[in-house]
Amino acid sequence: MPVNAETFEQQASYDIIIAGAGCAGLSLLYGLITEIKLCQLRVLVIDKSLEKSNDRTWCFWETEKGPFESIVCKQWDSITVYKNNFSKQLITAPFTYKMIQGLDFYNFVIKEAKKSPNIYWQEASITNIEAIDNSAIVYWEGGSAKASKVFSSILPVDSLYTISQSTNTQPFLWQHFKGLLVEFDKPVFDANIATLMDFNVDQKGATAFMYLLPLDNKKALVEYTLFSKSILKPSDYDSELICYLNKHYANVSFEILHNEIGAIPMTTQTFANSVAPIYVIGTLGNAVKSSTGYAFHFIQEQVGQIVKDLANNQPVKTEIHNTRHQFYDAVLLYILDHQLMEGSEIFKRIFEKNKASTIFKFLSNTSTIFEDICIMRSLPTSIFLPAAIKVLLRRA
Ligand SMILES: Cc1cc2nc3c(=O)[nH]c(=O)nc-3n(C[C@H](O)[C@H](O)[C@H](O)COP(=O)(O)OP(=O)(O)OC[C@H]3O[C@@H](n4cnc5c(N)ncnc54)[C@H](O)[C@@H]3O)c2cc1C
C-alpha cells in the first residue's frame, strides 16, 4: 500500500513497533521496559486481539531464576520416559523444568507495561509492513504508524499450511497436540515427576507420545502429542487422551477443567528474514527448534540478544540457532521426516544412553562437541551417517 510524502510525515511515529503481542512480542516488550537504557523509548504494540485468554502453557528449562520466575506455576526436578517395557527416571539438575500459564504471562507483562506512559497499544489486524527509507510502516484497516524499527511475530498461519503441503525439499512436520487439564477425585499422581514422553500410545504411523505434567497429586495437564505431516481432528486427540486416562487411572473419576490445542511447525525452512528496519522474531523469526518444537527458551534468548544489541547501539541480530546445532536438528528432522527410524525409538535411545543434563544442554544448543557426539552415538551409525551426508549434500 503506497503512501505519499505528506501522509508519511503525518503518521504517528514511534521508536519501535511490536507487531504481534504474543510470546515473542511481549517478551521483547518486557525486555525493553526493564532495560534502563531503553525504557524511555516510545513503543507501539499492535495485536489483533489484546483480550488475552489462557490459550497455551509454556514449559522450558533453566539452571537459574529467569525474568518470569514469579509466574512459574510449577517446576520439576525429575522427568520420566516410557516405551514398551523401557522406563527411565532422570534427574534434571542442574536444570529445572518449569511451567508458565499463558494468561499469567500475558497479564504480567501487560500490567508492567501499562505503568509506562511511553508504551502505546493498538488492537488491529495488521495487513502489511513495509520499509520506506530508514523507517518501517505498519498498516491495518483504517490506520497506519511508522517507526525506526519494527519487530514482527505475526505468522501467516494459512500460508504455513500451504508450505507444509508443498513438495518443498526441506522437511516439514507438525508438532500437534491437544492437552486436557484434568482433576481426579483421589490422589493419583506423583507431583514431583513430569512424564516427558510416554510412547505407549497409538503412534498413528508417526511419532506420538503422552506428555503428563502433574500440578499436584490430583491435577495434571495431559497432552497427546504427535510429530507428523498432517494434523488430526480434535476428536481423535480426545479419544486417545480418554483411553490413556481410563487405562492408567481405572475406577477413579476425573473432571476436565481446561483444554489447549496447538500445532507448531518443525522445519529447517526459513519463514522470513530480518532486514533492517523490519525484524522477525518468535516462530516467524525461526526461534522454534526444528527437531523438538520447543520455542519459549529460544524466544527468551532471541529477545535477550535484541535488547542487548539495542542497548549497545549495535546492529540487531535475530538469529539464535548456531550452525552446528542447526545441522543436528536437520539430521534428526530428516530421519523423522523420512521415517528412517521410529521416532519413539530415537528418543528412547537418547534418554536411555544420556544424562538429562546433557540432553537439556543439547536441546538448549549449549552442548559441547563431545556431548553432541554422545547424543548422536545413541542412534545407529547406519541411520545417522547416511542422513547426515544427505543433509550436508543439500546444504552444499
Ligand atoms: C498451545 C501451544 C503450547 C505450546 N507450548 C510450548 C511449550 O510448552 N514450550 C515451548 O517451548 N513452546 C511451546 N509452544 C511453541 C511456542 O512457544 C509458542 O507458539 C509461542 O507462543 C510462539 O510465540 P510467538 O510470539 O512467535 O507467537 P504467538 O505467541 O502466537 O504470538 C503471535 C501474536 O501475533 C498476533 N497476530 C497474528 N496475526 C496478526 C495480525 N495480522 N495482526 C495483528 N496481530 C496478529 C496473534 O494474535 C498473537 O498474539 C506452544 C505453542 C502452542 C500453540
Tens digits of residue pLDDT in 312-338: 999 999 999 999 999 999 999 999 999
Q: Which atom of ligand 1 is nearest to the CA of 282?
A: 26
- Which cell is 369 given? 562437541
How far CA 395 is from CA of 337, 376, 388, 391, in Å, comes to 17, 20, 11, 6
pTM of the model: 0.95
> Which residues have C-beta within 8 Å of that of residue 154, sequence separation ≥ 6?
19, 20, 126, 284
Give residue 82's pLDDT band: very low, low, confident or very high (50, 70, 90): very high
For the chain, the average pLDDT equals 94
How many angstroms separate the alpha carbon of residue 291 from the centre of ligand 1?
18
Neighbouring C-alpha atoms within 13 Å toward the C-beta of 317: 11
pLDDT for the residue numbered 343: 94
Q: Which atom of ligand 1 is nearest to the CA of 285?
A: 26
For the segment 181-197, the average pLDDT, to the nearest whole number, is 97
Q: Is 174 in the pocket of ligand 1 (CB under 6 A)?
A: no
How many angstroms separate the alpha carbon of residue 264 from the centre of ligand 1?
9
Q: Would you say residue 104 has pLDDT above 50? A: yes
**Host H or E run for residue 298:** helix 296-311
Domain boundaries, the chain: 5-58+99-155+271-311, 169-265, 323-395
How many angstroms separate the alpha carbon of residue 22 from the centre of ligand 1?
5
Q: Is 295 in the pocket of ligand 1 (CB under 6 A)?
A: yes
Q: Would you say residue 9 has pLDDT above 80? A: no
How many angstroms separate the alpha carbon of residue 331 from the centre of ligand 1?
26
pLDDT for the residue numbered 396: 59
Q: Is 165 in the pocket of ligand 1 (CB under 6 A)?
A: no
CATH number of 5-58+99-155+271-311: 3.50.50.60
Give residue 10's pLDDT band: very low, low, confident or very high (50, 70, 90): low
Give residue 2's pLDDT band: very low, low, confident or very high (50, 70, 90): very low
Q: Is 296 in the pocket of ligand 1 (CB under 6 A)?
A: yes
Q: Among 14-18, 161-165, 339-343, which stretch is predicted with the lowest mean pLDDT?
A: 161-165
> Which residues have C-beta within 8 Å of that of residue 77, sequence separation ≥ 6?
91, 92, 93, 96, 97, 192
Residues 243, 225: Cα–Cα separation, whole Å: 14
User: Under a CB-based contact definition with an 8 Å cutoff, are residues 14 and 147 in contact?
Assistant: yes
Q: Is 231 in the pocket of ligand 1 (CB under 6 A)?
A: no
Q: Would you say residue 39 has pLDDT above 90? A: yes
Q: Is 20 in the pocket of ligand 1 (CB under 6 A)?
A: yes
Residue bearing the CA closest to ligand 1, atom 3: 56
Pocket test for ligand 1, best of 17, 44, 47, 139 (most atoms within 8 A of CB): 47
Tens digits of residue pLDDT in 209-255: 999 999 999 999 999 999 999 999 999 999 999 999 999 999 899 99
Q: Which atom of ligand 1 is nearest to the CA of 140?
A: 42
Residue bearing the CA closest to ligand 1, atom 37: 154
Residues 245, 248: Cα–Cα separation, whole Å: 5
Residue bearing the CA closest to ligand 1, atom 7: 58
Least Cα distance to 61 among 329, 288, 300, 378 occurs for 300
